[in-house]
Amino acid sequence: MKNKGLLIVISGPSGAGKGTVYDRILERAPEIQKSVSVTTRLPRAGEQEGVHYYFKTLTQYQQMIANGEFLETASVYSNYYGTPKAAVLGLIEKGRDVMFEIDIHGARQIKARYPQSILIFLMTRDFEVLKERLIKRGTETPASLKTRLSSAKNELAQYELFDYIVFNDTVEQAASDVLGIICAEKSRVKANEAAIKKMLSN
Ligand code: 5GP
């Protein structure tokens, strides 16, 4: 019998570099499936439907909630984001590993509904680095910078929810750390029990 795929969640505060590390992991391990989320926010320049997100109106999104189509859904900085359930669970059943880049509320819902999921918290080594990265990004006003830093502290305080923490010193090292975690999870005795038993029975 084929093992189920892994459900890997990357979460962490804005400025920690989730998106960049996520993309790098997928470049290095193209066999991992990207989970494409649904959102009510408008597409940014260069973003494509079905590649970066499925873009929906609020009414369409609410209908999807009512139909029970989400594995998790959360409101992040005044827009809705959610993970479509059917596609993800279908892939996992087929033995494919699926990776998500989602906020902490979504991560919590996933762990509750799918306890085998692997939750990884990506963070900078200290708050100064996080602040510098947010300032460098140039997308924050002084007020929103303050909000994001206080959200970051709040997220870090929920560290016990996670199975692993990865410090993002460089993109390459952080991507290697996540790939190492995935490799370790696949090497668990539990994950290989069927193969071991088969060998023993011969
Ligand atoms: P952005 O609008 O910059 O693409 O994403 C904003 C935030 O939404 C990021 O923190 C990202 O992790 C989070 N996010 C993206 N997709 C999902 C999702 O499907 N569910 C949840 N809960 N958060 C998401």
Q: Is the CB of 71 inside a 6 Å radius of any atom of ligand 1?
A: no
75-134 per-position pLDDT tens digit: 988 899 999 999 999 999 999 999 999 999 999 999 999 999 999 999 999 999 999 999
Q: How far apart are CA 82 and CA 69, in angstroms?
A: 9
pLDDT at 1: 63
Beta-strand relationship, 7-11 and 98-101: parallel
Q: Rounded to the nearest whole angstrom, what is the distance from the C-alpha of residue 176 to the centroid of ligand 1?
A: 22
* Cβ atoms within 10 Å of 193's Cβ, excluding its own: 11
pLDDT at 139: 84
Q: Rounded to the nearest whole angstrom, what is the distance from the C-alpha of residue 86 to the centroid of ligand 1?
A: 19
pLDDT at 137: 87
Q: What band does 5 get if pLDDT is binned at 50, 70 and 90?
A: very high
pLDDT at 3: 85
Mutate to test the pocket of ligand 1, among 102, 117, 130 (most ligand atoms within 8 A of CB): 102
Higher per-residue confidence, 77 vs 150: 150
Q: Whose CA is nearest to atom 11 of ligand 1?
A: 102
pLDDT at 138: 86
Give yes or no for a contact between 181 and 136, defined as CB atoms under 8 angstroms apart: no
Helix (H) or strand (E) holding 84, with range, is: strand 79-84
pLDDT at 141: 92
Tokens matching residue 160: 């016990």
Mutate to test the pocket of ligand 1, among 103, 113, 137, 155 (most ligand atoms within 8 A of CB): 103
Amino acid at 133: R
pLDDT at 94: 96
pTM of the model: 0.93
Q: Rounded to the nearest whole angstrom, what is the distance from the C-alpha of residue 198 to the centroid of ligand 1?
A: 42
Q: How far apart are CA 26 and CA 179, in angstroms?
A: 10
On the question of pLDDT at 73 being above 90, the answer is yes
Mutate to test the pocket of ligand 1, among 48, 64, 76, 137 (most ligand atoms within 8 A of CB): 76
6-64 per-position pLDDT tens digit: 999 999 998 999 999 999 999 999 999 999 999 999 999 999 999 999 999 999 999 99
Closest CA to 117 of 103, 97, 87, 90: 97
